[in-house]
Amino acid sequence: MSAETLSAAEAGLLSCTTCHLLSRPADPANLGHCPRCGTRLVFRRHNSIQYTWALIIAATIFYIPANALPVLTTTALGSTESDTIIGGVIYLYTSGSWPLALIVLVASVMIPLGKLVALAYLLIQVQRGQVRNRHDSTRMYRLVELIGRWSMLDVFVDAFVVALVQLQPLMSVEPGPGVVFFMAVVVLTMLAAQTFDPRLLWDTPRERQAFDG
């Protein structure tokens, strides 16, 4: 594939965002729906860049309390302990189970942050109209979309532990406020990845001016 390849939009064609069927627009004013799956067709998603930016910024804001506030409050034999995500990673590492520490670190800290950075990078490239390596950028986008759900691992473990460890007088585990923010970060980044239109990566600056609004 080369950069010179004609894009569908340039050829006056529409690709379905759901089933990827290529079709002609019904009418220049009203583009119509996909004849196969019925999805409303657009050349490029409306306000894709703005939407994605907004969601990324919101996610970045929530990323701070998600890491600063405790995600788990453990009460064992009268002594209460609150752990943040990083605290848990450090605890796992110091107690010797570094593989677990690595998993938690990657899934709960690095992936959400990586997603935010990757999406921001893609958006900046699209906005500046100079997508350097369209091929790699698209691959990066796919990766972001794919791994998005896995960062819910932490929330999942939290929910499990809270539900299972309820030995009331001896030991109990309660969720901390951090987990809500963490969940918000994951959901917002997933939505951001959804609102981002990867077709923008292939547009030339001239086209982008025509589509974006």
Give residues in contact with another protein (CB under 8 A): 47, 50-51, 54-55, 57-59, 61-62, 64-65, 69, 77-81, 177, 184, 188, 209, 212-213
Nearer to another protein, 34 or 63 (CB): 63
Least Å from the CB of residue 166 to another protein: 18
Nearer to another protein, 39 or 80 (CB): 80
Token duo for residue 201:
């990566």
Contacts for 90-93: CB closer than 8 Å, 24+ residues apart: none
Residues shown for the chain: 213
In the block, tokens 């196969």 appear at 36
Least Å from the CB of residue 78 to another protein: 3
Least Å from the CB of residue 74 to another protein: 11
Give the pairing type, strands 14-15 and 22-23.
antiparallel
In the block, tokens 């030995």 appear at 167
Nearer to another protein, 91 or 150 (CB): 91
Least Å from the CB of residue 98 to another protein: 22
Nearer to another protein, 26 or 171 (CB): 171
> Position 87: which residue type?
G
Nearer to another protein, 203 or 212 (CB): 212
The residues, any chain, with a CB within 8 Å of residue 3's CB and separated by 6 or more, are 134
Least Å from the CB of residue 27 to another protein: 19
Burial class (CB in 10 A: 0-12, 13-18, 19+), 166: exposed
